[in-house]
Structure 1
Amino acid sequence: MRYAICFTPPASDPLSLVAANWLGRNVFSGDMMEPPAVRGLGIHEIAFHTAVPRRYGFHGVLKAPFHLSHDMPESQLLRDLMRFSGTFVPFQIPRIEVARLGNFYSLLPSTPCEQIQYLASAIVQEFDRFRAPLSEAEIERSDPDGLSATQFSNLHRWGNPYVMEEFRFHMPVTGPVNAIDMPRIEPVLRTIFEPVLCEPVMVSNVALMIEEGTGGPFRVHSLHPMGKVSARKIA
């Protein structure tokens, strides 16, 4: 069983609903969803291209999946995450768009968002004490020979190559896509997601996600509101 600290909009948010339909699974309930009917792309193709993000559910990772250290109980992680989240003021990502990142597609901020970068870095540092050390197999799966010096250092210090200055916030909506399929996939993604990307995305909570068994799907365990309780009541 692994945990991850992420951002995902509330369950009732239009973006969450559209993403759940596209990926084929609701990250809150775990329910499987029927894929949308789209011209030029069959349901089996959609299922294939969304297999990887479907397992992880719709989210933007802030602290990548980790095993809990043997001396750190889940109850302590929950308490500390609730306390930590309250120290951050909610903020907006002004605009998110469909974009290609390597050979897969994600929803990314249109322009760099310093607040989400800072939040992710703070979470990595604050909660690293809850992370069990990486096994040799986990290190090998990270392909250390293909990492830059900074990424290699991050892997051994923080358990993930892509943190701090190497971090780029993104919410995956496909797995790897062959170059030959990209001209068909990208327009479909824009058609599906752009209607719910017109408004800024409010970052007002941090989600603790949990893996169901070993290698199972991830689901939202709990949402931890940002901001002081008194401020949230006034809002």
Structure 2
Amino acid sequence: MSDATSTAMNTAPAQWSAATRFALYYAPPRDSAWWRRGCEWLGRDPESGEPLAPPQPVELEMPLASLTVAPGRYGWHGTLVPPFRLADGVTPQALVAATQAWAARRERFEVAAEAATLGRFVAVRAADDSGAQALQQLAGDALRTLGSLRAAQTSAELARRLDAPLTPRQRDYVETWGYPYVFDEFRFHMTLSDSLDEAPTRAALMHAWNAQMRDAGPLPVHGVAIYVEPKPAAPFELWQRVDFPQENDA
């Protein structure tokens, strides 16, 4: 099989509208410990819609679910192309086709990864520079390829995103790409917590995640997934998986 494959439904639900947002995310393979344990950690499988019981690390005095509200809405993932609305005339199926064509030119790779801090958050990060650079290149290539399918920002969206402490380069990225942390500003992460003020809580979460993933092996980057926010503030759903070719694909 020479083409990248999609392993989910390929029709757009009728309840989607012009306000529906799409995102290209990294999602670990469904049969991997990286997928199963990440979904359990956030309390939801965004592909099946199944609610899951989060683990309760012994280091925590409060329920894990109370510390993962925001990442739980977005679902277990690592952002490659941030959420966007489709441009006029672009259908969800066209987005899938473009993603498949792009993915067919990619190669599978693996990245050493571990939980670390990212500001006041805890997230899975690449454990070395080579992995971080591979993921940064992947995200940048995806954004350049799919960027023409994005709807232009509204003036309100642009004003909201610029109302933040940004560098001149980040402001340029917001105006051009709709998001400040792209290309050289991109830092791959899979969020494990809300924003937390308490350093001991962040440390406990890092320790708990790394302990349970000690034998999981490297992060397998074997494909991407299209996630959907059906309507504003709704939980994101994994709509389509798109695999990178295997080595024996002709």
How well do the aligned residues superpose, as a CA RMSD in angstroms?
Answer: 1.8
Partner of 2:6 in structure 1? none
Counterpart position of 1:106? 123
Distance 2:165 2:96 in 1: 35
Contact conserved, 1:18 with 1:192, CA < 8 A, in 2?
A: no
1:173 maps to: 192
1:224 is aligned to 2:225: no
C-alpha deviation, 1:157, in angstroms:
0.8
Which residue is 2:179 aligned to?
160
Question: What are the equivalent positions in structure 2 for 1:23-172 lying under 5 Å apart?
Answer: 23-42=42-61, 45-93=63-111, 95-112=112-129, 113=131, 114-172=133-191
Deviation at 1:178, TM superposition (A): 1.1
Q: Could you tell me whether the CA contact under 8 Å between 1:155 and 1:161 is conserved in 2?
A: yes
Q: Kindly state the Cα deviation for residue 133 of structure 1 after the two structures are TM-superposed.
A: 0.9
Q: TM-score if structure 2 supplies the norm length?
A: 0.85
- Checking the alignment, whether the CA contact within 8 Å between 1:66 and 1:131 is kept in structure 2 is yes
CA contact (8 A) 2:100 2:242 kept: yes
CA distance in 2, matches of 1:6, 1:212: 16
**Which whole-Å CA distance do the structure 1 matches of 2:214 and 2:156 have between them?**
39
Rounded Cα–Cα distance in structure 2 between residues aligned with 1:157 and 1:34: 40
Letter in 2 for 1:128: G
- Equivalenced residue count is 228
Unaligned runs of 5+ in 1: none
- Alpha-carbon spacing, 1:42–1:31, altered in 2? closer, same or farther (3 Å): farther
The one-letter code sitting in structure 1 at the alignment partner of 2:114 is E
Structure 2 unaligned spans of 5+ = 1-19
Percent pairwise identity: 27
Whole-angstrom CA distance in 1 between matches of 2:187 and 2:170: 13
Higher helix share: 1
1:232–1:75 distance in 2 versus 1, CA, 3 Å? farther
TM-score if structure 1 supplies the norm length? Answer: 0.90
Tell me which of 199, 211, 216 is aligned to 1:194.
Answer: 211
Aligned to 1:4: 23
